[in-house]
Every structure is written in structure tokens, then in C-alpha cells.
Amino acid sequence: MCSIQRPLDAKDQPRGAVEAEAVLGILTLCEAGILELMLSDALLFEIARNPHPIRKEYALRVAAKAAVTITTNDRIVETAKRMFEKGVKPVDALHLACALVAEADYFCTCDDRLLKRARTFDLGRTKALSPLELIMEVSQ
């Protein structure tokens, strides 16, 4: 959710401004069919809980561009539980578990703590990257 929302954040800090542009670039690549945006029901749940109407609407517009929707299943729940037991916040664990079980190529987040934790797990083929790292990787 933090990555989707990054373009709406204040641009007074260099990192936020650069990440916002990276996220917009990633979304452009999704619209061009170069990348495929995956959505999870966990993300839809989080979007639905957003109390800020403009942010909520923006996130829903981005979510509507998803090519794939991942539905939480027992395997995802068990994977998320293991991650939670190792210090990942519950909703973050669900997001990461969805990407892992769906065998996404990338898991993108602006959350430094989540990114650091994600990199301690065996994610198989899924790479945990920041938006800037992701845009650099796919632009090579």
C-alpha cells in the first residue's frame, strides 16, 4: 500500500520524490504490458480501510489496473503466520506471503523495515525491492 500511495506523498524530501517517480514509472510499465501488476485481496482489504477519500480512490484506480488478483488461501495464511512469528507485521506478512505463493517476480515496497525483513526469507523466485530498485532492474 505504501508504494501505491507514494505518488500522493509530499515531495519535499528527495527520497519521497524519487520513489514517487519510480512508482509512476512502474505503473506506466504495467500499462504498457511490460510488467504485470498483481493485486491481492489483502491489499483490497487495506484499501477499503483507508479513511482518506482521495488516497482510497487513487489506490482503487491503481488496483483496477491489476492483471491478476491473488485470493488468500490456506497456504498464504500459513506462510504469513511464519513471517509474523519472525517479526513481520500481520498485514505486511499477508502481502509478502501473497507475492511469494503467487510466485511473483517482484515484491515492491517503500517500507524499509518490511524490505529488510523480507530479504531475510527464502522468497524463491520473488525479489523484494524498493520502487527505485525495481525500476532500475526492469529498465536495464
CB-based burial, 46-64: b 16+ in 10 Å, e otherwise: bbeebeeeebeebbeebbe
Q: Name which of 11, 42, 13 is nearest 24 in CA terms.
A: 11
Regarding beta strands 38-40 and 68-70, do their DSSP bridges make them parallel or antiparallel, or are they unpaired? parallel
Query: Mean pLDDT over residues 4-25, rounded?
Result: 91
- Note the pTM of the prediction, 2 decimals: 0.91
Q: Can you give the pLDDT at residue 71?
A: 96
Predicted confidence (pLDDT) per residue in 84-124, tens digit:
999 999 999 999 999 999 999 999 999 999 999 999 999 99
Q: How confident is the model at residue 2 (pLDDT cuts 50, 70, 90)?
A: confident
Q: Which domains does the chain have, with CATH numbers?
A: 2-138 (3.40.50)
pLDDT band at 40 (very low <50, low <70, confident <90, very high): very high
